[in-house]
Every structure is written in structure tokens, then in C-alpha cells.
Amino acid sequence: MAAYGKPQPPLNDAYYGPAIPPPQAAAYYGATAPPPPRRSGPHRLFCCLFKVIAVAVIALGAASIVLWLIFRPTAVKAYADTATLSRFSLNSTGGRRGGLLEYNLTVGMRVRNPNRFGISYRNLEAHASYDGDRFGFKPLQPFYVDKKSDAKLDVALSGAALVDDDDVERTYRRETAQGFYKVKLRVYARLGFKVRGFRMNNYKSKITCTLNLPVPSSGSGAAFAAPTMVFTKCDVNS
């Protein structure tokens, strides 16, 4: 059978293809690499400062954690030991809602600091409220509580305040019949303390005392009344 196509040349002759590139010289042991590019002076100075700052921040953080574990603050405790409600009368104001609340309240408080450092109380304000309505306000003198000790705080509020709420009047009548008034006293302050050279200021604190006070002996209350021993533990948020 005849073959189709052009016959192939014989394969006896040598074939000359493209030239094969010579192998690259293998790297031998001990050959020196090209030196790295030298960094400029400002770049080296910046790297050095960054390392120093990082080490200082880490050291300061570790020292703060150790001091916190050693002098870990414990919550301050507060108590209302005595209270005098010599006047607490709600009078009508001629058809208007609520009335005029006349009051004379004195509370003797005690603040207990169980920590190993002293605490200073500054920017103190006392707020008194009845049935959710504030009726008394007075700034107080700053004081200092030494480590693991107590400090006394006297709050005296007197005057008159308009109450524009019928609910307060209804609560007043009900509690007058029951013989006790529920009054809340809040003391706001800014705290400051110093621990091993570290000074910390402007921490907010709020002391809330809920007092159940007996109705004064007369309608308007006596001008001077004996203090009532209440021994009420107050809530402290700081």
C-alpha cells in the first residue's frame, strides 16, 4: 500500500538544534552575601526611641498591675447612724397641685475606709428627696478618711420647697397615717487618693441612704427633737 505524504529524510545525519546554555556556577560554602543596605541616622534613632518607649510602657504597666494587686481598693462603706426629722409638713398652696413642703432634717453619717491608703472627699453635695422629688440641697465641707479608719459626716437640711405633684401629696398622707416617712439622702463627691507615688483624682462617688423616719410629734414638728438611732447601711457607688 502506497504511503501518503512526503517521504521523511533518513535519520543517519546529526541533528543540530538550538545551543544549550551552560550550567550556572553552583554557590560554594563560605561565599559572602552582599552587605545589607545601611540605614540612615534618623531611622536608627527612631527605632531606638521606639524600643525605649515600648520597654517603659511595659514596665509601667507591670508596676501598675503589681501595685493594684497589693493595694487593691476595697469598696468604701457608709452608714447613717442618727437622723433628726424635727419638721416635715406639706401645706396646700391655694388650689395648686402638690403644696409647700417645709422640712428640717439632720443626719449623722459615718464613712468607713477599709483600704491601706487614705481617701479625700471633695466637691460634696447633699440631695434629699421624697417620693422621687428633690426637696433639699446643700454643699458640704470636704473631709479626709485615713487608712483603715472612719470619718463622721453631718448633713443638716432645712427650708421649704414647692412640690408640684399630686402623687407626692397622696404618699405624704398615707405615710403620715402609717407613722413613718421614707426619705432618701444622697451625697455626691469627687474622690482622690495616693498610692506609692501614684496620685488618682476625680473619681465620682455617690452615697445613697434610704431613711425611714418617724413622723414628728406635732403637725409642724418640734423645734428641737432628739435624734433617732437609725443605723442604716447606705449604698456606695464609686
- Cα separation, 184 vs 31, in Å, equals 86
Whether the predicted pLDDT of 179 surpasses 90: yes
- Cα separation, 119 vs 116, in Å, equals 10
Task: For residue range 116-161, list pLDDT tens digits in order.
Answer: 889 999 999 999 999 999 999 999 999 999 999 999 999 999 999 9
Task: For residue range 181-215, list pLDDT tens digits in order.
Answer: 999 999 999 998 876 666 777 789 999 999 999 99
Question: Which residues neighbour 176 within 8 Å (Cβ) at sequence distance 6 or greater?
Answer: 215
% of the chain beyond a pLDDT of 90: 49
Spatial contact of 138 and 104, defined as CB atoms under 8 Å apart: no
pLDDT of residue 37: 59
pLDDT of residue 236: 95
Residue 181, judged by CB atoms within 10 A of its CB (0-12, 13-18, 19+), counts as: buried
Whether the predicted pLDDT of 164 surpasses 60: yes
Whether the predicted pLDDT of 109 surpasses 90: yes
> If DSSP states are collapsed to H, E and C, what string results for 89-142?
EEECCCCCCCEEEEEEEEEEEEEEECCCCCEEEEEEEEEEEECCEEEEEEEECC
Residue with cell 409647700: 100
- Structural domains of the chain in order of their starting residue, each with its CATH number: 77-237 (2.60.40)
Average pLDDT of 174-182? Answer: 94
- Cα separation, 71 vs 74, in Å, equals 9
pLDDT of residue 33: 60
DSSP-based three-state secondary structure for 200: strand
pLDDT of residue 125: 97
- Show the CA angle centred on residue 90, arms to residues 168 and 96, nearest 5°: 70
Q: How confident is the model at residue 67 (pLDDT cuts 50, 70, 90)?
A: low
CB atoms within 10 A of CB 200: 13
The pTM score is 0.68
